[in-house]
Amino acid sequence: MSRAQQDLEQATRDVTYELQNLVGSLRANEWIAREMTKSTSRGTDSWKILSNSTQEAFLLHYRNLKQFLNNLKYDSDVKAEHFSDSWQSTSSVVGEKDEDDRLNRRLAHISYDRKSLAKDWDYRAMEDRICDVFDRFLKQLKPQCKSHFDGCEQLLALRRGRPCLGPVSNRTDTARTFSVELFGTFGTPFPVE
């Protein structure tokens, strides 16, 4: 196996991790929001911290997947075009440029501009947008790359409510599995052992 092939296989694990955690952090946030409504004033700050943490996690994974699918940033970055001969190199496959600026200033940099930037995000629409584009990407994979993205295919199928086949794991280092044990498919918490 060539070094380049090893690099691509590791990269698919990293991309799968990003997609797993994008979907998982939104489900976690939805669960936290439901729990917050049930809680008394005692512990509210802790719920808010958990909510903010899952929102920031979602935005981080969204930003990473957006850059991957848009073939953006540095030469050493993993890009969708590395796995597909037909994937177009563009800066607008997902979202708009002003969204990038807002993500960077709100998430990656402590900026004086923060106070003037909108605080609300339409997380569901963002997840739909990135997952729809990711689904298109999966349909354009090189044949030798398809099996490495099985976990992503399964996660997207599960997200759409279709039954999926294959193992389920909460490990972050496996490319062909995905994490649903903690929050389930619709935000229902499963017991954690």
Residue 174, pLDDT > 70, answer no
Measured CA angle at 94 (ends 91, 96), to 5 deg: 70
106 pLDDT tier (thresholds 50, 70, 90): confident
Cα 120 to the center of its chain, rounded Å: 18
Instruction: Please tell me the distance from the alpha carbon of residue 156 to that of residue 172, in angstroms, as a whole number.
Output: 17
Report if pTM > 0.85.
no
91 pLDDT tier (thresholds 50, 70, 90): low
- Provide DSSP, 112-148: GGGGGS-----HHHHHHHHHHHHHHHHHT--GGGGGG
CB 167 within 8 A of CB 178: no
Parse the chain into domains and list their residue ranges. 3-159
Residue 172, pLDDT > 50, answer no
Burial of 122 (C-beta count, 10 Å sphere; 0-12/13-18/19+): exposed
Instruction: Please tell me the distance from the alpha carbon of residue 111 to that of residue 51, in angstroms, as a whole number.
Output: 22
- Report which DSSP code applies to 80: G
CB 192 within 8 A of CB 182: yes
42 pLDDT tier (thresholds 50, 70, 90): low
- Give the tens place of pLDDT for each residue, 15-37: 999 999 999 999 999 888 888 88
Instruction: Please tell me the distance from the alpha carbon of residue 127 to that of residue 160, in angstroms, as a whole number.
Output: 12
